[in-house]
Structure 1
Amino acid sequence: MPLITSAGVGSGLDLESIISASVAAENTPKMQSFVAKEEALQVELSAIGEIKSAISKLEDTVEKLADPESFGKRIANITQPDGGDIISVTPTSDISTGSFDIAVKQLAQGSRAVTADGAFADADAVVSASGGTLSFSAGTDNSFDLTVTAGMTLSELRDAINASDSNFGVTANIVNTGDSSVGSKLVLTSNVTGSGNDLVITSDTAELDAIETYDADTNTSGGMTIAAEDVAQDAIITVDGLQVTNDTNTFKDAVQDMTIKALALSSGNDTDGYDTAELNVEYDRESVTALVDELIANYNNLVGNIGFQTRIGKPLNGDSSMRTLSDQLISTLSTQLTDAGPFESIFDIGLGVDKEGYLEKSSLVRSINDAMDENFDDIGTAFAGDNGVAKQLESLLGNYIDSSGIIKQRETSLNGQLDDLEDDVINHEYRMASLEERLRKQYSGLDVLIAQMQQTQSYLGAQLSNLPGFTKASS
């Protein structure tokens, strides 16, 4: 039977209003309770999310504090001489603090070989009519061979050297002197530095003698020469007057656990003395201070969030897990330290907790600056040691926001309740639709019955009015 959607048509009664009122009486209170429950769940979920976000921020900071490397950083402060920067320095976390005077007496360089005057008229001069092989080496582990093709010109040789895939670091250039007696010169520069690592060039044919630095057949010098100022040489620096030699400009462990790079020569000489750069290696106090400040800010942000969300009228008021977290935070901060020098607890290094539970810098025992002055390494142990506060906080916070943590379980439960509520609403809407359909069927029968009764009444009235002696009452 089709559903009648306009009840009361037959009877003239306002059955639509009756049906609507009946459905509303069932539907409205229930829907209001659904809405109220959803709002309560969403508010609680949002509050849990705020707490979770605050915990995550604190955990990020705690992870950095739990890393011993955060307390092992050193900074190198360099006062360069007036002539400009002569060194750069990279300290490691293992270096001891201290001060050093460093001078650069000599920079490392590779060798430079030049062809003889008149060897080649210009860049198009033929190097070899029949071709051959040139062998290049510098030091013990650097070498490559180059095939010289028949008729190769000087410019083509330059290009072949620079393009060779096996080239270890030889750069070829041509200098056109403009002097016909001198001609064009091939200049070969090696990047292999260090004393004894001069560029050596030999060939397998006399036609290439002009390109050699050494003639193996005659055991004599070849056509290319290396001037005294162009030989490969070591770098030489002094550290507090002690001379240190290295085959490159980068000195590793000249001062143990520190890399010094020579950038430029110091002014002066052995007689008058060399200008020095003053190097001071210190603990990186600023980065530690910044981490402690970050800890205070993010810890207090979490404490403030817990306090706000558990106030009267807030969704987490009276929540036992929040009370537990607050208690555990204070308890963890009070962890008894081991192997941290004079620091028995975190409060011994210049931190404290006020009456509201907020973390703050304190000088009741000693200030943080005093602690860093006196026992810098022990501060690292206090935070990042096996029993350090940061390690303990890291474990505590993980219990709340890890994949199986308390906060995660709480979120899962609330989201599950929201899903169940959504199903309840759908089921309720189905029941309300069924109720309306049932009411319409019931009132449809009533509508038809009343309409029939009205028709009968009209018919009887008409019949009676036609009977003899029937008179209508005067109006």
Structure 2
Amino acid sequence: MSSITSTGLGSGLDINSIVTAIVDAEKDPALKKMTEEAVEATAMISSYGLLNSELSSFKSSYKQLGYDSSFAAANATSSDSDILEATLGYGAETGQWEFEVKQRAQAHTLVSAVANTFTDITNEVGEGILTLTYGTYSGVGNDTFTADPDKTFETITISNDIDPLTGKSNNSLEGLRDEINDADNNYSVSASIINDGTNYRLILTSKETGEKSAVELTATDLAGDPIATAGTGLDRFTYSATNKNMTETVVAQDAELVMNGITITSGSNDVTSVIEGVTLNLNDAEVGKTVTLKIDSDISQVEEQIQAFFESYNSTITKMNELTVFNGVDATDNGVLNGDSTIRNIQSMMRGVLNTQMDHIEGSIHSFADLGMLTKRDGTLELDADKLAAALKNDLAGVADFFTATGTTTDSKISFESNSSFTKAGTYAIDVSQLATQGSLAANNVAGLVMNDTNNSFQIRVDGYESSSIDLTIGSYSSVDEMIIEMQAKINSDSNLKDNGISVKIINDAGKLSITSNEYGSSSTVGFTTSDADFITNLGFSSSTSIIGLDVEGTINGISASGNGQYLLSESGDSEGIKLLIEGGALGERGNVTYSDGLTTVMNDVLDSIIDTNVSESSGDVSSSQGTIDGKIDSLYKKITTLEEQEEALTYRTDKLEARLYKEFNAMDIAVSTLNNTMSYLTSALDALPGYTRE
């Protein structure tokens, strides 16, 4: 407010000094206290910010200890890495093995024949459809081809239609190459063009190695009929058991290696099925050359991570001690948070985790003491390095179980899949009352193996998804098995099914077809929706048996669990959130599942309840406090706000007091001035009276 003053001329008093002194006597002590409290609250906010940062760093320091993979580290040494190396994954088995790599896997490669070369890459190749089938060639000159029913058919359409993006059609040698290599098409072959010195030729190479990834190419016109003139148009790119217009330059071949006297074949040069958790990388082959592979556990990373936990924990406790130090009542270097109960509670919560005894897990490691960590008087840890090294050497699995959240089952056909934040550590009984099944469609005997335009077309619905129209090749099949291979491959190649992860398996049961969905559960179904007039009758499906799949049923911890396919999920009780995969076995009691939080999870839960993720905000987040530090900082911000409001009220009150005092003192000054004037008047009047003499 505007300043009020008084000259004090009437009374002769220094009214300004008097009023200021009275107001300051009222205001200064209260304002000083408010300022000191605000400074203290600000310092405490800063200190809690430092502590919050320390706790966050501590939490990050042991993050890797919560992963199983951290305890699966190993080192691989090969006596000849030019021939064989190893890539180690989670759970890599340790040991030593002898290998002989006799041959590497090869990808099938075809090149257009000399007679079918092109003078320019823009030369037309002809309109039509190329169909790629993957499987195995055998016999003299690859005169027999067996399609792999687990691999899908692929079709490449070449036409004169103009692509609006390129302004060109794909009816050229370069257009065919680009169509094949277009990433959006995701074909299982790659294409390139070479110049042999005279003309241009197309090279096709399977993207997968192995003898089952050989390529069969057949060509039709755009209507699906055979090319009118053999050896022309797209027929120049055919390669099959009976028609070889391309030349094979690289044979589709499996890798062959011998491990400790056992012969192993693989379709890939990265062999994953030999040693658990290990991929063998075949870089070269040399018959008669023995390569020794040795895999040892690597505990150095785990040791470093535990050391980081130890050091970061001590750093955090040391910071707490600095913030709470007490050096005496009159000391000037006491900690900012000295005497604060919140920080004592935080220390107590963290010590509680360190004192946790994990008796429900197997192995020899049940506490931090078993790892050589003990708490000192100041709250920090001391580490017995020799005891830690011995624990890691003698019971690495026990150390892993101590730190990581684990779930184990006693039944080999039941797997622990996952848990939720609601799952409590413990051992829970499993009882299975119904196993999951797959939807299927079983037929009677196949009536004929001749396909024509009245019995080769159908649509099928699998797991609720309907295929496009599927056509089997018109002609005679040599056996039911040959027809099954094509039928399964074409169903699994259908884009409507494939894009939704749907596939089937067709088996020949003594001349009767059975189509089974590869999914389990009540949503697993198989059925034909439409077909040619004679298709159903010809394949024996006119009186077929359709079976809808079943979900697994059972209990976990004696409480009914939810079944979805082969998965059984606990939805209540202490076991809530445990998800199990039931892959067969007997009905009834199936042993137990044991879940352990792991010390990293326990510590994370504690720290998550403490750390403020919004501590960087300048005014706190007082409307939604979460966590111990968040709540404390918010309360301090609220205190500062309250002090500011109190200061405003004090200023308002003292301003009012100042105005009142000036009003009263000015009134007094006027009164004194009036009296003085009256006295002067009376004195003058008396002096003027006749006969009056001043003595």
Q: Give how far 1:409 is off.
A: 4.2
Q: Give how far 1:303 is off.
A: 2.5
Residue in 2 that maps onto 1:177: 196
Residue in 2 that maps onto 1:186: 202
Counterparts of 1:231-270 in structure 2, within 5 Å, are 231-262=251-282, 264-266=283-285, 268-269=286-287
1:64/1:472 CA distance change after superposition, 3 Å? farther
List per-residue Cα deviations over 1:46-85 (Å, max 9, x = no partner): 44444444444434446654x3526532224233626x37
Query: Is 1:359 equivalent to 2:365 in the alignment?
Result: no
State the distance in 1 between where 2:601 and 2:130 align.
64
Highest Rg: 1 or 2?
Answer: 1
Query: Is 1:143 equivalent to 2:140 in the alignment?
Result: no
Q: Secondary structure at the match of 2:639?
A: helix
Which amino acid in 2 is paired with 1:5?
I
Q: CA RMSD in A?
A: 3.8
List per-residue Cα deviations over 1:333-392 (Å, max 9, x = no partner): 3444424534464223222334444212216xx521122111111122334473865555
Q: Give how far 1:301 is off.
A: 2.0
Counterparts of 1:105-144 in structure 2, within 5 Å, are 105-120=102-117, 122-123=119-120, 127=124, 131-139=127-135, 140=148, 141-144=152-155
Q: 2:93 aligns with which of 69, 91, 96?
A: 96
State the distance in 2 between where 1:164 and 1:368 align.
52
Residue in 1 that maps onto 2:237: 212
State the distance in 2 between where 1:52 and 1:156 align.
62
Q: Give how far 1:437 is off.
A: 1.0
List per-residue Cα deviations over 1:191-212 (Å, max 9, x = no partner): 2422143322222322237623
Q: Give how far 1:433 is off.
A: 0.8
Which amino acid in 2 is paired with 1:178?
G
Which amino acid in 1 is paired with 2:656?
S
Q: Give how far 1:13 is off.
A: 3.8
List per-residue Cα deviations over 1:266-310 (Å, max 9, x = no partner): 4x32xxx2252624142x412321221122112212322332233
Q: Secondary structure at the match of 1:221?
A: coil
Q: Give how far 1:96 is off.
A: 3.0
1:124/1:81 CA distance change after superposition, 3 Å? closer
CA contact (8 A) 1:3 1:437 kept: no
1:177/1:394 CA distance change after superposition, 3 Å? closer
1:462/1:243 CA distance change after superposition, 3 Å? farther
Query: Is 1:35 equivalent to 2:49 in the alignment?
Result: no
1:3/1:142 CA distance change after superposition, 3 Å? closer
Query: Is 1:452 equivalent to 2:674 in the alignment?
Result: yes
1:188/1:362 CA distance change after superposition, 3 Å? closer
CA contact (8 A) 2:392 2:399 kept: yes
Q: Give how far 1:435 is off.
A: 0.1
State the distance in 2 between where 1:92 and 1:444 align.
91
Q: Secondary structure at the match of 1:289?
A: helix
1:127/1:26 CA distance change after superposition, 3 Å? closer
Q: Give how far 1:239 is off.
A: 3.4
Query: Is 1:349 equivalent to 2:364 in the alignment?
Result: no
CA contact (8 A) 1:134 1:201 kept: yes
Q: 1:274 aligns with which of 283, 289, 292?
A: 289
CA contact (8 A) 2:209 2:254 kept: yes
Q: Secondary structure at the match of 2:106?
A: coil
Corresponding residue pairs, total: 452
Q: Give how far 1:463 is off.
A: 5.5
Residue in 1 that maps onto 2:187: 168
CA contact (8 A) 1:123 1:153 kept: no
CA contact (8 A) 1:118 1:184 kept: no
CA contact (8 A) 1:193 1:232 kept: yes
1:148/1:413 CA distance change after superposition, 3 Å? closer
Q: 1:301 aligns with which of 315, 339, 343?
A: 315
CA contact (8 A) 1:382 1:388 kept: yes
Q: Give how far 1:26 is off.
A: 1.0
Which amino acid in 1 is paired with 2:213?
N
Residue in 1 that maps onto 2:306: 292
Which consecutive unaligned segments of at least 5 residues does structure 1 have?
A: none
Query: Is 1:435 equivalent to 2:657 in the alignment?
Result: yes
1:49/1:4 CA distance change after superposition, 3 Å? closer
Residue in 2 that maps onto 1:379: 399
Residue in 1 that maps onto 2:506: none
Question: Structure 2 length as normaliser, TM-score?
Answer: 0.57
| Greater percentage in strand | 2
CA contact (8 A) 1:3 1:441 kept: no
State the distance in 2 between where 1:344 and 1:125 align.
73
State the distance in 1 between where 2:7 and 2:183 align.
101
1:324/1:213 CA distance change after superposition, 3 Å? closer
Counterparts of 1:306-317 in structure 2, within 5 Å, are 306-312=320-326, 313-317=334-338
Q: Give how far 1:259 is off.
A: 2.9
Residue in 2 that maps onto 1:6: 5
Q: Give how far 1:161 is off.
A: 4.4
Q: Give how far 1:257 is off.
A: 3.2
Residue in 1 that maps onto 2:551: none
Q: Give how far 1:5 is off.
A: 2.4
Q: Give how far 1:223 is off.
A: 2.5
Residue in 1 that maps onto 2:214: 198
Counterparts of 1:6-25 in structure 2, within 5 Å, are 6-8=5-7, 10-11=9-10, 13-25=13-25
CA contact (8 A) 1:175 1:187 kept: yes
State the distance in 2 between where 1:96 and 1:419 align.
62
Q: Give how far 1:7 is off.
A: 0.9
Q: Give how far 1:318 is off.
A: 4.4
CA contact (8 A) 2:611 2:629 kept: yes
Q: Give how far 1:126 is off.
A: 5.0
State the distance in 2 between where 1:199 and 1:281 align.
41
Deviation larger for 322-331 or 287-296: 322-331
Identity of aligned residues (%): 25
